[in-house]
Amino acid sequence: MILADQLIAAWLNMANGSDPSPVTATIADANKLLEAGPIPENVDPSSPLGQKMVSDAAILDNYNNGLLTPTQTASISPP
């Protein structure tokens, strides 16, 4: 669920004018990871797949909090 939350927030930030270039590859990877099954996927965070999901979520969290884009106009972070 964390990855899905961060991905949705990233989409909203892009719609709000934030530069997606720092996370384009991460967004593509997150989409691929999440399209494997229904949400929540109940993936163990310590599994190889879970670790990749946690890593992508952390990168997107940094993006959503304006840490990867110096000109981000507004950040939308999931609750």
pTM: 0.82
Please give the pLDDT value at position 35: 86
Please give the pLDDT value at position 8: 95
Do residues 10 and 27 make contact, with C-beta atoms less than 8 angstroms apart? Answer: yes
Q: What is the pLDDT along the chain (79 residues), one digit of tens a residue?
A: 899 999 999 999 999 999 999 999 999 999 999 887 776 678 888 999 889 999 999 999 999 998 987 654 555 566 5
Residue whose pair of structure tokens reads 């999931």 in the numeric block: 78
Please give the pLDDT value at position 51: 93
Where exactly are the structural domains of the chain? 2-64
Do residues 14 and 44 make contact, with C-beta atoms less than 8 angstroms apart? Answer: no
